Structure 1
Amino acid sequence: MLKHYKLAVCVLTLLTWQTQVQAQKIPLKPKLVEKVVRKGNELVIPYEKYLLPNGLTVVVHEDHSDPIVQVDVTYHVGSAREEVGKSGFAHFFEHMMFQGSDNVADEEHFKIVSEAGGTLNGSTNRDRTNYFETLPSNQLETALWLEADRMGFLMDAVTQKKFEIQRATVKNERGQNYDNRPYGLVFEKNTAALYPYGHPYSWTTIGYLRDLNRGNVQDLKNFFLRWYGPNNATLTVGGDVTPAQVVKLAEKYFGPIKRGVEVKNMKLPAPVLTQDKYISYEDNVRFPLLQMTFPTVPNFHPDEVPLDLLAEILGQGKNSILYKNLVKSQKAVQAGSQHPCTELAGEFSISVLPFPGQTLAEMEKTIRESLVEFEKTGVSEDALTRFKVSYEANEIDQLSSVDGKTSILANYQVFTGNPNFLPNDLKRYKAVTREDVMRVYAKYIKGKHAVILSVVPKGKSADVAHADNFTVDSSGYVPPKDQYAGLKYIKATDTFDRKKRPGSGANPVIKVPPFWNDKAGNGIKVIGTKNDEVPTVSMLFSIKGGHKLEAKNPGKAGIASLTAAMLNESSKKYTSEQLSSELDKLGSSINFSAGPDQMTVSMQSLTKNLDATLVLLEERMLYPRFDSTDFDRLKKQTLESIANQSTQASVVAANVYNKMLYGNDNILSIPVIGTTSSVSAITLDDVKNFYRSNFSPSVTNLVIVGDIEQNTIMPKLGFLSKWEAKPVEMPATPKVATIEKTKIFLVNKDKAAQSEIRIGYIALPFDATGEFYRVNIMNYILGGAFNSRINLNLREDKGYTYGAGSYFSGSESAGPYTAYAGVRSDVTDSSVVEFMKEIKRFEETGITDQELAFVKSAMGQSDARKYETAFQKAAFLNNIIRYNLDLSFVSQQSAILQGITKDQVNALSSKYLTVDKMSIVVVGDKATIKPGLEKLGYEIVELDPDGNPVKM
C-alpha cells in the first residue's frame, strides 16, 4: 500500500513563504495572500489564504455540500522542539490545552463542543500539534472562540492539580499504547539507536516516564510561551462557511492575541551509521520480531518518492519480494517494508515476524538475499503503474470529507507555506522512473549500515539475530542554549466581552441523503444513493450468517473467517498476486471479511475504472480457486494469530467477557476467528462446503454509494444472475447465560502495567425507534460522551485511565451493555469501585435536568455529521436494508429524543442498569491486583486466557 498523506512533513531547505513574510511589514488588517480555484476536473482543493497582523495564517475552504464545518489549529511544534530531559512536553501540553482557559472552565471545552453536536480532539507528532473540531456550521463562531481562548488565555488557568491529573493521564496513555502493548517499545528503542544522542527524533512523542516525573508546572508554562504564539500557528477552516465570515471572526477572536517569540524552521544533518547497530529487548510476545532500519531523507526531498516505490516493491502487497520470500513460503506471519518521512529525516524499515521454528538470524539472511534479488529484477512496468494509480486513488479518497481536505491544507501550509501543494505532490509521484528507484537503492540501501532490532519473548534473549553491539552514548552531547529564558506572558486586551459565549444561530437544515431501492439478480435487495463529491463508487454486500452459522458445528468455529480469507486469494482465472496487481493498477480494492452475524464483500473503485473492477469482483465472488497451498498458509497463520492473542490484554478481555456473557452453549462465546482446536479441525473441503451452502444471494443485501446513477449501475450488475441461489437456514438463537449475582472473573497477565476491565450483561436487541434507541439516549451522559460521568470520574478526576466509557450494542439478537477501561495496575480495585458506584448512582438517582438538556442538544445536533462521507452514507443505508426500517425512522428518532422526559430516562436506568447481576472481567497482574479485588466483597473466579476455570 502507498503511504497516506503524512501528518508530519518536511520543510524545503530554502526560506519558506512564512519566514519571508515575517521580514516584511505586517499589515494592520488581515491580508489576502492568495486565492486558489479549481479549473475543470483538476485535483485541487479551492481555498483563500490570509495573514493576520499578529502572524496567524488563516486558510479557508468553502464547501456547502454538507452543513458542517471543520476548524483546525496547527502549531508548528512537536516533540522535535523538546530537549534532553524534557521529552514528552509537546504531547503533555496537548492534554493541558483541554483543561480550561480564562473564559472556558475546566472540562467545558469537550462539553461545549459535544453539546453543539460536534466532535473534537488533538494530536501530537514529531513536528506539529493540532487541535480540531467538526461541528454543525452554525457553531463556527463557538469553535473559533474556544480555540482562540486557549491560544491567548491559557496561562492563568494552568494549576498544579490539573497538571498532576493530566500527568497521570499521559502515564496511562503510555502504559496502554507502549508499555502494555506487544512490540510497543519498538519505535522508542529503534530511534534511540538510529539518531545521535540529543537529536530530537531520538525519543518518542510520548516521552520517557522519568522526564514526565521531573517536569513541573513552570516547565509547561514556558513551553506554551515559547511555541504557542499565533505566528507559529495556522488556522484552517473548511466546510459550510464563506471566507469573509471566517476572516471576520478570526480577526475578532485571534486578532488581539500578541505575536509570540520567533520560531525558525529546523534543519539537521541526516544520521550517519558507521556500522550495523544490533540492539534487542525482551517483550511479552509470542512471535519474535526483526526490524532493519536505514536512514534516508526528509519529506519533500527529491529522493522520497522513489524510496516510497522501493518500499512497495520490496514489502507491500502480494506482489512484493518479501511477501513471496517470507509470507507465501510460510516462513513468516508478516513481512513488509515502509518509508515514513518527517520534517527532519526519513526511515526505510523492513520488518518480519517469523513463524515458530524460524530464527531471526535466518530472517536477516533472507532480507539481505531479497535485496540482492531486487537488484536483479529491478522495477517492472506493472509496479510503476500500480504505484502511481494507487497514489492518485488514495489522494482522491482523502478528499471525500471536509476533515480530510482541511487536514491536507493545514499540513501543506505549515510545512511548505503552500496549501496548494497537492498538485506538486501528484507530479512528483507521477514522474518517478525505474532509474530513480535503482539510484536511491544504491544510494541509501545497497551496502549501507542499518539499525537491526530484535524483539524476543521473555526469557529468550539468546534468540536475537546478533549480539547487541550498541548502547546509547551521551558523552559528546552539548546541551543547546536555554531557549526559555526571559519569556513573559502578555495577555491580550479586547474591545468585547470574551467571557460571553457566542450565540449559534439557527440549526442547519439536515437532509437525509435521498436513496433508491432496486433488486439485482436472484432477488438481491439493493439500496443506493448518488454521491458525486469525489469520482468513486463503493459497494457493500452483506451476506447473512457469518460466525452464527457455525452454531451448527461449533467444533469447527472459525470457518466463516477462514472462508472469507480464502475468497481474498486466487480465483480460477487469476492467482492472488495477479488479482492484487490488477486491482492496484485500477486504484481499486475488493475485500472479504466475516463477522458475528454476516460476511461482507466491500469494493471501492474510481468511477472511470468501475467496469474493469466489476470484472474482478465477479471473479472473486463467483469463481474462487480454493487452492490447497493458500489454505495451508492461511490456516497456519490463523492458528498462530489465535495463539498470539494471549499476549494482548485487550483481546483476552474481550474474548473472556463474551464467554461470560453468552455462556458455553452460544456460538458468540467463541471468537469469530475460532479456537486452536476448532480451526485445527477445519479442512479445505469444509471451506468449500461452507461457501457452497451459505454464500448465497438469497441472504444478501447490497449497498451502493458513489458518483453514478441508478440506471447506470444496475445494468452493470448482470453478472450477479450467475450467482447460484440456495436456501440458507439460520440457526435458532440460543438463550444467553444468566448470572444470579455479580462476580469478578480474573485472568492473570504477569507483570502487566495496566489492567483491562469489562463490566456488563446481555441487554436487548437493536431497535431503531424502540427501547434500544432510548437506552442509548440514557447512556450518553453515563458513559457515551467524553464528558460522561464515567470518563470524567476515572480519567479527568482520578487519573486512573486514558479513557473509560460504556455502551449498549445490539443486532437482530440481544447485545450487551458494556462498561470498559484500561487502568493502571495499582488502581484496579479502585477503578472497579468507581465504575460500580457511577452505574449504581445512575440507576438509583437517574439523570439531572441539566444533563438531559445536554443530551438532547448533543445528540440532536450531531445529525449534521452523520451523512457526509460515502462510508457514513453506506452505514446509514445498510441499517435501513438490514433491519427493514421505515423510511421515517430518522424523524421518529428525532421526535423521541426531543420528547423523552427525565422520568422516562430514569425508568430506563432503573430497568437496564442492574449492577447486582453483571459480569466483571479483569485482565491484569494477579499478584498485584488480586488482594485489592478480594476486599471488594465479590466472588472471584480465576480463569485462563481462554476463559476456562483455573485449577486451584
Structure 2
Amino acid sequence: MPFKPLLLLSCLFTLVACVQSPLPATSPILPEGVTLIEQHTPQEGETGIAYKKYQLDNGLTVVLHADDSDPLVHVDVTYYVGSAREELGKSGFAHFFEHMMFQGSENVEDEQHFKMITEAGGNLNGTTNSDRTNYYQTVPANQLEKVLWLEADRMGFLLPAVTQQKFEVQRETVKNERAQRVDNQPYGLRSEKTAEALYPAGHPYSWPVIGYTEDLDRVGVDDLKAFFDRWYGPNNAVLTIGGDIDEARTLIWVEKYFGSIPRGPQVDKMDKQPVSLAEDRYLTIEDNVHLPLLQVTLPTVHVRHEDEAPLDVLSDILGGGKNSLFYKNLVKDGYAVNAVVGHPCQELACEFQLIALAHPQRTANLSELKQRIDATLAEFEQRGVQPDDLTRVKASILSSTIFGLQSVSGKVSTLAINETFEGKPDLVQYDLARYRAVTANDVMRVYERYIKDKAAVVLSIVPQGQTALAAAEHNFSITRPDVSVESQQAPEWQPPQDDFDRSKEPEAGPAPLISLPEYWQSKFENGMVLVGHSNDETPTVTLNLSLEGGPLLDPLDKAGLASITAMMMNESTHKYSTEEIANELAKLGSAISFSASGRYTQITLSSLTENLDQTLELLKEKLFNPAFLEQDFERIRQQLLQSLQQQVKRPEALASRAVRQLLMGSDNRLGLPDSGTLASIQALKLEDIKAFYQQYYSPAISKLVLVGDIGQADALQALDFLRQWQGQDYQLPQVADFAIEAQPRLYLVDHPGSAQSVIRIVKPDLPYDATGEQFRSKLMNFPLGGMFNSRINLNLREDKGYTYGASSRFVGGKTLGWFQAGASVKLENTGDALREFLTEIDTYQQHGLTAEELSSLRLAYLQGEALDYETPAQKARFLRHLLTFDLPADYVREQQQIIRTIGLAELNQLSREKLKAEQMQIIVVGDKAQILEQLAGTDREIVELTLSL
C-alpha cells in the first residue's frame, strides 16, 4: 500500500506559501449578512493554500480560493454528518440520503441537477463516509451562479420535493449498489466484518457506511425527512469554492441563495472513540474466491493524534512497497501474491491493517501466513528503523504534496475537509511538519505501544468449503444488538423568505475562451517522435513513452508475453536489485513503471523537476539494463497465474472476457486478455522474455510525451539518451477482423452463487475516427446511454430500480470498434432488465433523438472543453491522443463545428443503421440456476459460453 503522508483525509494539496494574516485595517465591503473570519496569503518558504474564510449569519461557513490558471470552478458542499451519526437499526441512512439529494428539490425537477450540470459542461457527484457527506461539481467558470443556486435549493428546499416513489426507487438503487460493490465482489465483506469485530456493538464505526439491507428496508420516508431536518442545516455545512472566481460577485451570489436558509439544530463534535481489545478475535468468511486472504487489524489512535504520523511511517516500513519487509518476506519469497500494510484513519478511530493474499503453492494455510507475519514483526523489532526509511517517507510527503496542487478540485477538497473537522482550512504546512518531525525513536515507540504483542482482529477469507485454511478456529461471533426502531415524524417545513424569484434558473455568463495546450515537437533519427508541453504551474515533470505493438505482438500460444515482459522491466537491473532501485526512486519521490495493454507497451515516469536528472538516470538503467533473473521471472509468473485464477471469480471480469472472445474469437490474439491465459502463461520461458525485449523494445515505432516544468532545450538535452537509443525496426501484425457470428444469440456464462447478473449487449462497428462516422455515432449515443440522464440509465436505475448504473457506448480503437451496452442488475430482475435494454434500444433505433436531446448534447460537449486541459495528466492525454491517431492539433475545433451543425436527420439516420437489436449479441453472466427461466422469454437461442481462461 502506498504511503499515506497527507492522504489521511483523502485530500490533495497545493504548494503555495500560505499562513494566516491579520485582517486588513480596511476590509472590502461585504454583502449584508456575510462576515470575513480570516484570510491566508502567500508567504515565501511555506507550503499551503491561499484562502479567505467567511461566515453567513445562519452559520454557513464559506471558504474561497482564487486560481485563474484555468477557466473553471469547483464547488464543494460538505455536511458534517456521516454514518457515525446514524441510529442503531438505521444504518446506511447517511449514504441513502446522499442519493436522495439528487432527486430534485422545490425549484429543480427530479434528475434535473444532473441534467443542468451536464449541459453546463461540468461533472458532479457526492460521497459519504463515516464522518461526513459531500456534494461537488466542477464546471466552466461562467456556470458558477447556477451551481450555487442548485446547491442552495437542495439545502433549503428539498423536503417539499421528497415523495414516497422517489424514496422507494433510491432504496432499490442503494441495495443495487451494495450488491454490486459488496455482495457480488470477492472479499467484498472484508471491511464490514472486520469493523463488526473490532468495534463494540453500538460504536459509530461498527456498521458499514452503505448499511445493512434489513436496515434499509425498515426505514420510511418520514425518517428521511427527519434526518434532513436534523443534519442538513447551513450551520452544519462548509461551502468551498475554488478556481477562476470574482470573489466579490461570488459572495453576493452566496448570500443571495444561501443567506435566507434558516439555521438548523446545533451540531457538536463527537468524542474520539479509539478502541482496544483484550484478546485476539478470529473470524472466518467463506467466499467465492481463489486465493485465501488474511487480514490482521489492530486498533490505534484517531486522526491527527500525535502518534498517527509515526504509525503511518511504521506502516510504510512494514508494507509500503518493494522496500518493505512484507514484500521481502512474503511476496518476494513467494508466500503471498500480494502483501500490504496500511494505517487508515478516521475522525474517531484508526486501524493498523496487515493484509496478505496467500500463494497456495507456497502457503498451505493462513496459519502459516500468520506465523510469517509475526516473524516479520519480530524482524522489524530487531532491525529497527534505518536511515533510508525516513528519507523515503519525507520524499513521499514532499512529492505527493506538490503533485496535489495540479487540480482545483484537489485544493478545494483539502480546504473543505480541514475546515469541517478542524476549523482550519489550510493544514498543509502543519501536516508536512509533523511527518518531517518523526524520528526513528517515535516509530519504535508506537510499535511497542500499539502493535507488539497486542490483540487484533484476525480475519480469514477462504474459498467455499475450505474453512480448514483459516488462520485459527473461529472464536468470535458477531451479534447485532436487538433494536426497536420507531419511525420518526416528518418535520413541518417552512420555506425560507426571499425577495427574488428562486424558481428562475440563473443564466450563465459569457463562455470562457479556451486555448488548446501549446506544444513543441521533435523527431529523432531512430524513429521516436517527441511531443512536449512546458508548464511552470507546478515543479513537476510527467513522461510517457509508448512502444507500439504491446500485446498485439504476442504469438497466440504465448498470449501475455508483452505483459509479463513489462512486469519484468519493473524488477532487477544489472546494477540494482528490485528493492534497491525501488529505494532509489522512493528517496527521490519519483515513480517509473512499465506496463503493456491494448496495442502499446507504456513506460511512465513522474518526478519533481529538481530530481528529474536523477530519475532519468534510473530510467536509463531500467530501460537498457534489465537483469531478467530467473527467480524474478518465476515469482512474477506464479503471481500472474494466481491473479488470472482470481479474476474469474469476478462477474464483471468474466463479462469483459466474454465480450472479447465473442467479438474477436478465441483463435485471435485480440480475443484473449492482454495478460494472457493460464495455458499461455504456463508455457512461457525466460528466453521468451529476453527475445521479446531484444526484438520489440526499440524506438523504431515509439511516441514520447513530456509535460511539465521544463523548456524544450533542457528537455532535449535531458532526453539525449533516448535520442541515442538504437533498436531494430519491426512490423506490426495484421489485425484480424471480427469473428462474431451473424446469428444473434444469447450467450450465458454460468457464475454460481452470483448476487447479481452482468448484462452486455454488443455488435461490431467502426474503429476510432476524430470527425467521421464513428465520432458522430458517439454523439448519437449520448442521449441513449452516454450520460447519467440517458434513457437507459433513467429507465433501469431511476424508474425500475434494477441497477446501480446502466450505459451504452461506441468503443473505437485504431483498427476495430464496437457498440456495447450493459449493466450489473438485480438477480431476480435479470430478464426484466434485459427486456428494458432491448426496448430502449429498439425505440431509439426507430424514432431517434428529440430536438431537446440534441440541444442537451450540444451544450454538454461544447461547454465541457473548459475542464479538459487543467492538469498535466490531462494535457499529456491530449498530446498522446494526437500522436496515437496522427491528428492535427486543431481537430477539436472541427469536432466542435460538427457538434454545432449536425442535425437530427443525420443522427437519427445513424441510429436507424447502427442500433438494430437483431444484429446484436447478448451476454449474461450470472447464476444459471436462478436466471435461466427468466431469459427464456427473449426469443433468442441460449448458448452456454465456455471462456478461454
The TM tier, using the shorter chain, reads over 0.9
Among residues 572, 575, 582, which one is paired with 2:574 in the alignment?
572
Q: How much has 1:455 moved relative to structure 2?
A: 0.7
**1:369 alignment counterpart:** 375
Query: SS where residue 647 of structure 1 aligns?
Result: coil
**2:223 alignment counterpart:** 219
1:317-350: CA deviation from partner (whole Å, max 9, x where unpaired): 0111111111000111011110000000000010
Q: How much has 1:665 moved relative to structure 2?
A: 3.3
1:422-433 to 2 correspondences below 5 Å: 422-433=428-439
- Counterpart Cα distance in 1 of 2:480 and 2:831: 41
Distance 1:945 1:284, change over 3 A: farther
- Counterpart Cα distance in 1 of 2:274 and 2:679: 51
AA aligned to 1:258 is: P
Q: How much has 1:592 moved relative to structure 2?
A: 0.5
AA aligned to 2:887 is: L
Q: Does 1:2 align with 2:6?
A: no
- Counterpart Cα distance in 2 of 1:163 and 1:486: 14
**2:27 alignment counterpart:** none
**1:196 alignment counterpart:** 200
Deviating more after overlay: 737-746 vs 180-189:
737-746
1:810-832: CA deviation from partner (whole Å, max 9, x where unpaired): 12101221101100111111111
Q: How much has 1:483 moved relative to structure 2?
A: 13
- Counterpart Cα distance in 1 of 2:858 and 2:487: 48
1:458-857 to 2 correspondences below 5 Å: 458-472=464-478, 488-520=492-524, 522-550=526-554, 553-857=555-859
1:84-163 to 2 correspondences below 5 Å: 84-163=88-167
TM-score by length of 1: 0.96
Query: SS where residue 812 of structure 2 aligns?
Result: coil
Distance 1:27 1:597, change over 3 A: closer
Query: SS where residue 697 of structure 1 aligns?
Result: coil
**1:384 alignment counterpart:** 390
- Counterpart Cα distance in 2 of 1:442 and 1:643: 39
- Counterpart Cα distance in 1 of 2:788 and 2:508: 22
- Counterpart Cα distance in 2 of 1:512 and 1:708: 19
Among residues 429, 433, 440, which one is paired with 1:434 in the alignment?
440
1:444-459 to 2 correspondences below 5 Å: 444-459=450-465
Among residues 41, 44, 47, which one is paired with 2:48 in the alignment?
44
Across the two proteins, how many residue pairs are aligned to each other? 928
TM-score by length of 2: 0.96
Q: Is the 8 A contact 2:284 2:470 kept in 1?
A: yes
Q: Is the 8 A contact 2:283 2:457 kept in 1?
A: yes
AA aligned to 1:772 is: Q
Q: Is the 8 A contact 2:225 2:490 kept in 1?
A: no
AA aligned to 1:436 is: D
AA aligned to 2:199 is: Y
Distance 1:27 1:341, change over 3 A: farther
- Counterpart Cα distance in 1 of 2:529 and 2:886: 11
Deviating more after overlay: 832-841 vs 484-493:
484-493
- Counterpart Cα distance in 1 of 2:709 and 2:10: 32
**2:16 alignment counterpart:** none
1:902-945: CA deviation from partner (whole Å, max 9, x where unpaired): 00111111222131111211100101111010111111110234
Q: What percentage of residue pairs aligned between the two structures are identical?
A: 49
**1:186 alignment counterpart:** 190
Q: How much has 1:120 moved relative to structure 2?
A: 0.3
Q: How much has 1:488 moved relative to structure 2?
A: 4.6
AA aligned to 1:923 is: V
Q: Is the 8 A contact 2:272 2:302 kept in 1?
A: no
Q: How much has 1:242 moved relative to structure 2?
A: 2.4
AA aligned to 1:32 is: L
Q: Is the 8 A contact 1:661 1:919 kept in 2?
A: no
AA aligned to 2:197 is: A
Q: Is the 8 A contact 1:622 1:723 kept in 2?
A: no
- Counterpart Cα distance in 2 of 1:447 and 1:739: 62
Q: How much has 1:742 moved relative to structure 2?
A: 1.8
Q: How much has 1:739 moved relative to structure 2?
A: 2.6
**1:20 alignment counterpart:** none
- Counterpart Cα distance in 1 of 2:569 and 2:816: 30
AA aligned to 1:441 is: Y
1:877-917: CA deviation from partner (whole Å, max 9, x where unpaired): 00111211122211111101101000011111122213111
Q: Does 1:399 align with 2:405?
A: yes
**1:276 alignment counterpart:** 280
Deviating more after overlay: 937-946 vs 846-855:
937-946
**2:325 alignment counterpart:** 321
Q: How much has 1:107 moved relative to structure 2?
A: 0.7
Among residues 263, 269, 285, which one is paired with 1:265 in the alignment?
269
Deviating more after overlay: 731-740 vs 560-569:
731-740
Q: Is the 8 A contact 1:542 1:700 kept in 2?
A: yes
Query: SS where residue 370 of structure 1 aligns?
Result: helix
- Counterpart Cα distance in 1 of 2:279 and 2:697: 55
- Counterpart Cα distance in 1 of 2:691 and 2:947: 31
Q: Which runs of 5+ in 2 are unaligned?
A: 12-19, 21-29
Distance 1:571 1:277, change over 3 A: same
Q: Is the 8 A contact 1:794 1:834 kept in 2?
A: yes
1:477-520: CA deviation from partner (whole Å, max 9, x where unpaired): 9999x997895533211110000000002111111111111124
Q: Does 1:252 align with 2:252?
A: no
Deviating more after overlay: 392-401 vs 863-872:
392-401
AA aligned to 2:336 is: A
1:608-663: CA deviation from partner (whole Å, max 9, x where unpaired): 10000000010111111111110000000111111112211000110011100112
- Counterpart Cα distance in 2 of 1:5 and 1:449: 27
- Counterpart Cα distance in 1 of 2:889 and 2:876: 15
Q: Is the 8 A contact 1:666 1:735 kept in 2?
A: no
**1:360 alignment counterpart:** 366
Q: How much has 1:770 moved relative to structure 2?
A: 1.2
Query: SS where residue 91 of structure 1 aligns?
Result: helix
- Counterpart Cα distance in 2 of 1:517 and 1:43: 34
Among residues 212, 216, 232, which one is paired with 1:228 in the alignment?
232
1:346-371: CA deviation from partner (whole Å, max 9, x where unpaired): 00010111111411000111111111
- Counterpart Cα distance in 1 of 2:490 and 2:886: 67
Q: Is the 8 A contact 2:666 2:948 kept in 1?
A: no
Q: Is the 8 A contact 1:520 1:718 kept in 2?
A: no
Distance 1:401 1:496, change over 3 A: same
Query: SS where residue 399 of structure 1 aligns?
Result: helix
**1:305 alignment counterpart:** 309
Q: How much has 1:673 moved relative to structure 2?
A: 0.5
AA aligned to 2:536 is: D
- Counterpart Cα distance in 1 of 2:299 and 2:713: 53
Q: Which runs of 5+ in 1 are unaligned?
A: 10-16, 18-25, 948-952
Query: SS where residue 782 of structure 1 aligns?
Result: helix
Among residues 918, 921, 939, which one is paired with 1:919 in the alignment?
921
Q: Is the 8 A contact 1:258 1:490 kept in 2?
A: no
